[in-house]
Amino acid sequence: MTEYERIAVAPIAGALGAEIDGVNVADDLDDAVIDEIRRALLDHLVIFFRGQNLPVARHKAFSRRFGDLFIHPNFQLGQEDKEMVYLLRQPGDTSVAGETWHADTTMMETPPMGAILYALETPQYGGDTLFANQYLAYETLSEGMQDMLGGLKAMHSDVRVAGPDAGVNAKRTSKVRDDANWRPTVHAHPIVRVHPETGRKCLFVNPVYTMHIEGMTEAESAPILAFLYQHQRRPEFTCRFRWQTGSIAFWDNRCLLHLAIHDNSDAIRHMQRTQIAG
């Protein structure tokens, strides 16, 4: 396990996840602290900070220490600031963004490497986020399944989460593009991905963006993908984070899935998010 000199790192579960203490991310942090935060992210896949005050400018500045900011194509609704996404659940919403297991924006040719989500307002209870370790999801497959998946790619598309046929905007406050000029984004990715920094293999499919296995029909792909979707979210692969106002989650989008739990529809949950380019 990595030793840290500038930050305190406390794991929250056996599979993944750690809380970071001793850091105010709104400060102009030196390179040594940023390096330890990056190493903690690689070690634990998702890291959390409590009690932060993160104005937009500082949120962006902190995010840029880890890479360029990613512009999400489906949240561009004419706002001036294209680098920040706000995820708002209002009382009465019957759906929320991210309530199915997924990695973010995997229909892109180069999906974002990570996201930094900051809680502006949270309910007294509910609205937690689950995360699932996709290294473990791959490593616990049989050797035969690993061999079969190793040469396969899957097609990823955003048709289920945006566009005029998705039907998501009628259910929730956080809107996405559904105009007539919208077109789906579709790209293929290996089902087994090698992480560019750790060199470890992980599963890279999810039930939101993955449509079918390349070279197979959706019907032929369905039983394989259904097995993987069930397997990759096994409880022993997961951690659960309970939000408080001022909390931050920073996750590695290359090797985990996450899910927003929609279990308190009477409360406001307001989040501010950057994504970091892959």
- For the annotated catalytic residues, the residue numbers are 102, 104, 258, 273
Q: What is d(CA 256, CA 131) in angstroms, rounded to the nearest whole number?
A: 7
| Tokens at 110, concatenated | 């180069």
Residue 117 domain boundaries: 8-276
- The label of the residue with tokens 């009465």 reads 92
Specify if 12 maps to a domain: yes
Q: Give, as one character, the DSSP assignment of residue 68.
A: P
Token pair belonging to 35: 């390096």
Q: Do the domain assignments include residue 2?
A: no
pLDDT value of position 1 = 66
pLDDT in tens, the chain (278 residues): 689 999 999 999 999 999 999 999 999 999 999 999 999 999 999 999 999 999 999 999 999 999 999 999 999 888 889 999 999 999 999 999 999 999 999 999 999 999 999 999 999 999 999 999 999 999 999 999 999 999 999 999 999 999 999 999 999 999 999 999 999 999 999 999 999 999 999 999 999 999 999 999 999 999 999 999 999 999 999 999 999 999 999 999 999 999 999 999 899 999 999 999 99
Q: For residue 155, what is the domain's CATH number?
A: 3.60.130.10
Strand stretches in 122-221, DSSP E: 129-133, 153-157, 186-190, 192-194, 201-203, 210-213
Domain-located, residue 258: yes
Report which of 23, 13, 52, 7 is spatially closest to residue 246, judged by C-alpha positions: 52
Strands 129-133, 114-121: pairing kind: unpaired
In a domain, 1, yes or no: no
Instruction: With beta carbons less than 8 A apart as the criterion, state whether 207 and 101 touch.
Output: yes
The answer to whether position 136 is within a domain reads yes
Based on the structure, what is the number of domains in the chain?
1
In a domain, 133, yes or no: yes
Q: Is residue 135 part of a domain?
A: yes
Q: Which residues make Cβ contacts (< 8 Å) with residue 103, sequence separation at least 6? A: 111, 204, 206, 209, 253, 254, 256, 257, 258
Q: What is the pLDDT of residue 78?
A: 84
CA distance 68 to 26: 18
The answer to the question of residue 3 being in a domain is: no
61-88 pLDDT per residue, tens: 999 999 999 999 999 888 889 999 999 9
Is the distance from CB of 276 to CB of 68 less than 8 angstroms? yes
> What pLDDT does residue 2 have?
82
> What is the C-alpha to C-alpha distance for residues 138 and 79, in angstroms, rounded to an integer?
40
Per-residue pLDDT, 33:
98
Q: Which two tokens stand for residue 240?
A: 């659960």
Could you report the per-residue pLDDT of 76-120, keeping only the tens digit for each? 888 889 999 999 999 999 999 999 999 999 999 999 999 999 999
